[in-house]
C-alpha cells in the first residue's frame, strides 16, 4: 500500500545552500508523523514542499499519490496547513478570517459561515468571534490558525510548530484536538521543538539534521534503541570520573553532571555507591530528548 | 521554468482574491468613499475655476471642460497604481496574505491576477464616484461619458500591471517613492492633461505618445466627455491593450519569481 505522502531522495536547494539533502520517508494514512531537528535542519522546507508552496529541486514527492508540481490545486484542496509564521489576515475578525479562508477553497458562503462558527467553538474562541485578529494574544492566534487549517475538512494536516508560544492549558487543548482529529481518520504531519509533545503525539517520527534524516521510528523504540531504558545522573567530580573510567562504564559529561545511559540502573547505582563516593545521584527514565541530544549534539545552531 | 513573457496559467479562483479585497473595501467604505469625492471638488475649484478664470478656452473648449477628462484619467492612474504598489506590497510583505492564500487551492498566478483585477476595480469605483460630481458641475456630457467606466477598467488594469511589476522588484516599501515622483508625477503633468500636447516641443510630443500611458487614457477620456469621438480612438485603445497585456503578464511572472522559492 502506498502512503499519503511518499518522498524519495527529496532535495531542496536555495541557491548554493542545501536545505533538504535527499530525504526519503513514507507517511501512512491515519498516523501522526513528526519531524524533529535543530534550528535550520530543513523541517519547514520539507513542510513547504509537501504543502505545494515551494517546488522541490529534485527527487520524488507524492501527496495523495499526486505530484505537487503537476496537481497543486487538487492536493491543496485536501490539505490543512498551519505555517510556522502566523499569517492571519489583519483586515478581518476571527470569524472573518475563517469565512474568507473558506472562500479560497470555494466553499459556499452559507456553509463557510456555519463552519467558521463550529471551528471557533472547537478551538474555544467563540467569545472572540467578532474581535479583530490584531487584538488576540499570541496563543489565541495560534489556535485560530489551527481552526483556519480545518475549514476545508482536510484529509491531511501539515502543522509547522503548532504549539509554539502556547501556555500549558492551550497546549493540552491542542493535543486533545489533534487526538480527536486523528481518531476521525485524519493524517497529521507536524514539526515541534517540544520533545515531550512529540513523544506523546507521534506514532512515528524522524529526527533531521543538516537536511538529512538521522533516524526514523516510533518514539519509544527510538529511545530504547539509541539510549536505553534509564539514565543515571551523578554530580561531576574527579573521583566519579576516574571511577567510571576504571569500571569501563560509558558516560557523558554535560556541565556539572555525568549521565550514564543504561538498561539496568540498579547495577550502575550499586557500582557507583560502592566504589565511587557519588555526591548527588538520581535515576530517571530515558526520553526522546536524550536521543535528540545524543544524535544532534549539544552545540547551539546558528 | 517561468520566463518573463510566458503566459501565466490563471484560473477562475482569482476572483476569490478580488472578492477578499472588495469585502475589506466595503468594511471600510467611509474611508474609501470620500477621497474621490473631495478630489473631484478640489481639482474643479483650484484648477478649473482658479486657473480657468484666466484661461477661458483651449481649442475652443471651456478650460474646465478640457481638464475634466484629465481629472478622471489621473484618478484611474493613481488609484490602480497606488493599490498595486503600496496596497499589494503591504498585503504581500507585511500581512503575509499571499503566503496564506497560496496554501489553499489558489496559485500565485491566481493571487496576482486577483490583485490586478482589484486594482482596475478601484479605478472604476473612483471614476464612478467622480462622474456625478463632474456632471453636476456641467463639465462632462452624458451619456457618452458613461464610457469612462469601462475605460477606467482597461486603463486601471494597465496601471495595475505597471505598478505590480514595480512591486515585484522593489527592495522595500520606501523605494516605491521613486516611481511615484519619477514616473507618476511627470505623467500627470505632461500627458495632455492640463494643457494640450501640441504646446510641447515636437520631440516631447512623440515621447509622450510613445511612452506615457496616461496620454492615451486622457485622449480617449476626452473623446468621451466633450464628446468628440474620432477614429484615432482605435490607435489609443490598441496601444493601451498591448501595454496592459505586456505588463500584466510580466508582473505575474516577476511576482512568481519573487515569492515562489
Ligand atoms: N527562503 C529561503 N531562502 C534561502 N534559504 C532558506 C530559505 N528558507 C530556509 N532557508 C535555509 O534553509 C535551511 C533550512 O531551513 P528551515 O526553515 O527548513 O529549517 P527548520 O528545520 O524549519 O528550522 P527551525 O526549527 O528554526 O524552524 C536553513 O539553513 C535556512 O537558512
Ligand atoms: Mg521551521
Task: Kindly indicate the confidence band of residue A258, based on its pLDDT and cuts at 50, 70 and 90.
Answer: confident
Q: How far apart are CA A50 and CA A40, in angstroms?
A: 17
> Do residues A194 and A247 share a domain?
no
Q: How far apart are CA A43 and CA A20, in angstroms?
A: 8
Task: Kindly indicate the confidence band of residue A265, based on its pLDDT and cuts at 50, 70 and 90.
Answer: confident
Q: How far apart are CA B231 and CA B233, in angstroms?
A: 5
Task: Kindly indicate the confidence band of residue A266, based on its pLDDT and cuts at 50, 70 and 90.
Answer: confident
Task: Kindly indicate the confidence band of residue A207, based on its pLDDT and cuts at 50, 70 and 90.
Answer: very high
- Interval between CA A43 and ligand 2 midpoint (Å): 5
- Interval between CA A213 and ligand 2 midpoint (Å): 15
Query: Could you tell me which residues come within 8 angstroms of residue B213 by beta carbon, excluding any fewer than 6 positions away?
Result: B77, B155, B158, B159, B162, B187, B240, B243
B197 and B208 Cβ atoms separated by less than 8 Å: yes
> Do residues A30 and A145 share a domain?
yes
Q: Which of A82, A66, A86 is nearest to A74 (CA)?
A: A66
CA atoms within 13 Å, Cβ hemisphere of B164: 36
Q: For a ligand 1 pocket test, name from A10, A15, A18, A19 the mutation site with the most ligand atoms within 8 angstroms of its C-beta.
A: A19
Q: Across the interface, which of A79, A91, A101 has its CB nearest the CB of B24?
A: A91
Q: Which of B243, B260, B207 is nearest to B77 (CA)?
A: B243
- Does A294 fall in a domain? no
pLDDT at site A3 = 87
- Does A293 fall in a domain? no
Ordered per-residue pLDDT tens for chain B, 261 residues: 568 888 899 999 999 999 999 999 998 887 777 777 787 788 888 877 777 778 888 888 888 899 999 999 999 999 999 999 999 999 999 999 999 999 999 999 999 999 999 999 999 999 999 999 899 988 899 899 999 999 999 999 999 999 999 999 999 999 999 998 899 999 998 998 989 988 889 999 999 888 999 999 999 999 999 989 999 999 999 999 999 999 999 999 999 999 998
- Which pLDDT tens digit goes with each residue over A115-166? 999 999 999 999 999 999 999 998 899 999 999 999 999 999 999 999 988 8
Q: Which of B74, B101, B36 is nearest to B221 (CA)?
A: B74
Of ligand 1's listed atoms, the one at least distance from the Cα of A208 is 21
> Do residues A202 and A246 share a domain?
no
CATH at A30: 3.40.50.300
Domain that holds residue A31: 5-218
Place of cell 497543486: A72
Query: Could you tell me which residues come within 8 angstroms of residue A173 by beta carbon, excluding any fewer than 6 positions away?
Result: A123, A124, A143
- Does A58 fall in a domain? yes
Helix (H) or strand (E) holding B57: strand B57-58
- pLDDT of residue A104 exceeding 90: yes
Provide φ and ψ at A191, rounded to 5°: -115, 150
B112 and B21 Cβ atoms separated by less than 8 Å: no
Average pLDDT, chain A: 91
Three-state secondary structure string covering chain A: CCCCEEEEEEEEEECCEEEEEEEEEEECCCCEEEEECCCCCCHHHHHHHHCCCCCCCEEEEEECCECCCCCHHHHHHCEEEECCCCCCCCCCEHHHHHHHHHHHCCCCHHHHHHHHHHHHHHCCCHHHCCCEHHHCCHHHHHHHHHHHHCCCCCCEEEEECCCCCCCHHHHHHHHHHHHHHHHCCCEEEEECCCHHHHHHHCCEEEEEECCEEEEEECHHHHHHHHCCCEEEEEECCHHHHHHHHHCCCCCEEECCEEEEEECCHHHHHHHHHHHCCCCCEEEEECCHHHHHHHHHCCCCCC
Enter the pTM of the model.
0.92
Q: Across the interface, which of B20, B107, B260 has its CB nearest the CB of A100?
A: B20
Q: How far apart are CA A211 and CA A298, in angstroms?
A: 18
B225 and B144 Cβ atoms separated by less than 8 Å: yes
CB atoms within 10 A of CB B239: 19
- Which pLDDT tens digit goes with each residue over A170-185? 899 899 999 999 999 9
Task: Kindly indicate the confidence band of residue A270, based on its pLDDT and cuts at 50, 70 and 90.
Answer: confident
pLDDT at site B1 = 53
> Do residues A32 and A178 share a domain?
yes
Distance from CA of B2 to the nearest CA of A (A): 13
Helix (H, G, I), strand (E, B) or coil at B5: coil
B129 and B41 Cβ atoms separated by less than 8 Å: no
Helix (H, G, I), strand (E, B) or coil at B129: helix
> Do residues A137 and A92 share a domain?
yes
- Does A295 fall in a domain? no
Place of cell 500565485: B108
- Does A134 fall in a domain? yes
DSSP lists the bridge partners of residue A17 as A14
> Do residues A252 and A193 share a domain?
no
Number of Cβ pairs < 8 A linking chain A and chain B: 63
> Do residues A210 and A253 share a domain?
no
- Does A281 fall in a domain? yes
Q: Do you know the residue count of chain B?
A: 261
Is there an atom of ligand 1 within 6 Å of A48 CB? no
Whether A170 and chain B come into contact, CB under 8 Å, resolves to no
- Does A292 fall in a domain? no
- Which pLDDT tens digit goes with each residue over A211-221? 999 999 999 89
- Does A267 fall in a domain? yes
Is there an atom of ligand 1 within 6 Å of A192 CB? no
For residue A77, list chain B residues with Cβ-Cβ distance below 8 A.
105
Distance from CA of B261 to the nearest CA of A (A): 6
For residue B71, give the C-alpha cell.
481629472
> Do residues A159 and A259 share a domain?
no
- Interval between CA A17 and ligand 1 midpoint (Å): 10
Instruction: Kindly state the DSSP code that residue B51 receives in the 8-state scheme.
Output: G
> Do residues A117 and A198 share a domain?
yes
- Which pLDDT tens digit goes with each residue over A6-48? 999 999 999 999 999 999 999 999 999 999 999 999 999 999 9
For residue B169, give the C-alpha cell.
522588484
Whether A105 and chain B come into contact, CB under 8 Å, resolves to yes
CB atoms within 10 A of CB A209: 19
Question: Going by CA atoms, what residue is nearest to atom 30 of ligand 1?
Answer: A40
For residue B84, give the C-alpha cell.
498595486
> Do residues A75 and A196 share a domain?
yes
CATH at A246: 3.30.70.260
Q: Give ipTM to 2 decimals.
A: 0.88
Instruction: Kindly state the DSSP code that residue B61 receives in the 8-state scheme.
Output: E
For residue B11, list chain A residues with Cβ-Cβ distance below 8 A.
73
pLDDT at site A262 = 84
> Do residues A271 and A171 share a domain?
no
Q: Which of B114, B26, B94, B84 is nearest to A104 (CA)?
A: B114
pLDDT at site B163 = 96
Q: Does A79 sit within 8 Å of B103, measured CB to CB?
A: yes
> Do residues A166 and A264 share a domain?
no
A258-269 average pLDDT score: 83
Residue of A nearest to B11 (CA): A73
For residue B14, give the C-alpha cell.
482569482
Q: For a ligand 1 pocket test, name from A13, A45, A86, A164 the mutation site with the most ligand atoms within 8 angstroms of its C-beta.
A: A45
pLDDT at site B2 = 66
Query: Could you tell me which residues come within 8 angstroms of residue A63 by beta carbon, excluding any fewer than 6 positions away?
Result: A4, A5, A50, A52, A75, A79, A156
Q: How far apart are CA B47 and CA A265, in angstroms?
A: 92
Based on the structure, what is the number of domains in chain A?
A: 2
- pLDDT of residue A1 exceeding 70: no
Whether A76 and chain B come into contact, CB under 8 Å, resolves to yes
> Which of the residues B99, B105, B118 would you substitute to probe the A interface, choosing the one with the greatest number of A C-beta atoms within 10 Å?
B105
Amino acid at each position: 500500500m502506498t502512503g499519503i505522502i511518499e518522498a524519495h531522495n527529496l532535495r531542496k536547494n536555495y541557491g548554493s545552500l542545501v536545505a533538504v539533502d535527499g530525504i526519503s520517508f513514507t507517511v501512512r494514512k491515519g498516523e501522526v508523523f513528526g519531524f524533529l531537528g535543530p534550528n535550520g535542519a530543513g523541517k519547514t522546507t520539507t513542510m513547504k514542499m509537501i504543502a505545494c508552496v515551494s517546488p522541490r529541486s529534485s527527487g520524488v514527492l507524492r501527496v495523495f499519490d499526486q505530484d505537487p508540481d503537476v496537481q497543486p490545486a487538487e492536493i491543496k484542496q485536501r490539505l490543512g496547513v498551519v505555517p510556522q509564521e502566523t499569517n492571519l489576515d489583519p483586515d478581518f475578525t476571527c470569524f472573518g478570517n475563517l469565512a474568507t479562508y473558506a472562500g479560497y477553497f470555494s466553499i459556499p458562503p452559507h456553509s463557510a459561515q456555519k463552519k467558521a462558527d463550529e471551528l471557533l467553538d472547537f478551538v474555544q474562541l467563540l467569545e472572540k468571534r467578532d474581535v479583530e485578529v490584531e487584538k488576540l494574544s499570541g496563543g489565541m492566534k495560534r489556535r485560530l490558525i489551527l481552526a483556519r487549517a480545518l475549514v476545508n475538512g482536510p484529509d491531511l494536516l501539515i502543522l509547522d510548530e503548532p504549539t509554539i508560544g502556547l501556555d500549558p492549558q492551550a497546549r493540552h487543548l491542542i493535543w486533545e484536538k489533534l487526538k480527536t482529529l486523528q481518531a476521525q481518520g485524519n493524517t497529521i504531519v507536524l514539526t515541534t521543538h517540544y520533545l515531550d509533545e512529540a513523544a506523546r503525539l507521534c506514532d512515528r517520527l524522524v529526527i533531521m539534521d543538516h537536511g538529512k534524516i538521522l533516524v526514523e521510528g516510533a518514539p519509544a523504540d527510538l529511545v530504547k534503541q539509541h539510549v536505553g531504558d534509564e539514565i543515571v545522573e551523578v554530580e561531576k567530580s574527579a573521583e566519579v570520573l576516574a571511577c567510571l573510567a576504571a569500571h569501563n562504564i560509558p558516560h557523558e559529561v554535560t556541565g556539572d553532571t555525568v549521565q550514564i545511559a543504561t538498561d539496568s540502573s540498579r547495577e550502575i547505582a550499586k557500582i557507583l555507591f560502592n566504589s565511587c563516593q557519588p555526591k548527588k545521584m538520581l535515576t530517571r527514565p530515558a526520553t526522546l530528548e536524550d536521543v535528540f541530544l545524543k544524535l544532534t549534539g549539544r552545540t547551539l545552531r546558528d | 521554468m517561468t520566463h518573463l513573457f510566458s503566459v501565466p496559467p490563471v484560473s477562475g479562483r482569482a476572483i476569490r482574491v478580488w472578492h477578499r479585497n472588495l469585502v475589506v473595501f466595503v468594511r471600510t467604505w467611509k474611508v474609501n468613499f470620500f477621497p474621490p469625492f473631495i478630489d473631484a471638488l478640489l481639482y474643479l475649484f483650484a484648477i478649473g475655476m482658479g486657473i480657468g478664470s484666466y484661461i477661458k478656452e483651449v481649442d475652443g473648449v471651456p478650460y474646465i471642460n478640457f481638464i475634466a477628462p484629465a481629472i478622471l484619467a489621473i484618478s484611474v492612474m493613481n488609484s490602480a497604481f497606488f493599490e498595486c504598489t503600496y496596497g499589494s506590497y503591504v498585503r504581500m510583505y507585511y500581512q503575509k496574505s499571499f503566503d496564506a492564500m497560496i496554501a489553499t487551492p489558489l496559485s500565485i498566478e491566481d493571487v496576482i491576477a486577483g490583485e490586478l483585477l482589484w486594482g482596475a476595480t478601484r479605478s472604476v469605483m473612483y471614476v464612478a464616484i467622480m462622474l456625478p460630481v463632474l456632471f453636476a458641475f456641467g463639465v462632462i456630457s452624458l451619456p457618452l461619458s458613461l464610457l469612462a467606466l469601462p475605460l477606467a477598467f482597461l486603463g486601471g488594469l494597465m496601471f495595475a500591471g505597471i505598478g505590480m511589476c514595480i512591486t515585484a522588484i522593489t527592495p522595500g516599501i520606501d523605494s516605491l517613492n521613486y516611481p511615484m515622483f519619477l514616473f507618476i508625477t511627470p505623467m500627470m503633468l505632461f500627458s495632455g492633461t492640463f494643457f494640450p500636447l501640441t504646446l510641447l516641443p515636437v520631440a516631447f510630443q512623440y515621447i509622450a505618445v510613445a511612452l506615457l500611458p496616461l496620454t492615451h487614457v486622457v485622449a480617449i477620456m476626452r473623446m468621451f466627455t466633450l464628446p468628440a469621438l474620432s477614429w484615432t480612438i482605435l490607435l489609443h485603445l490598441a496601444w493601451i491593450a498591448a501595454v496592459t497585456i505586456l505588463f500584466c503578464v510580466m508582473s505575474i511572472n516577476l511576482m512568481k519569481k519573487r515569492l515562489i522559492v
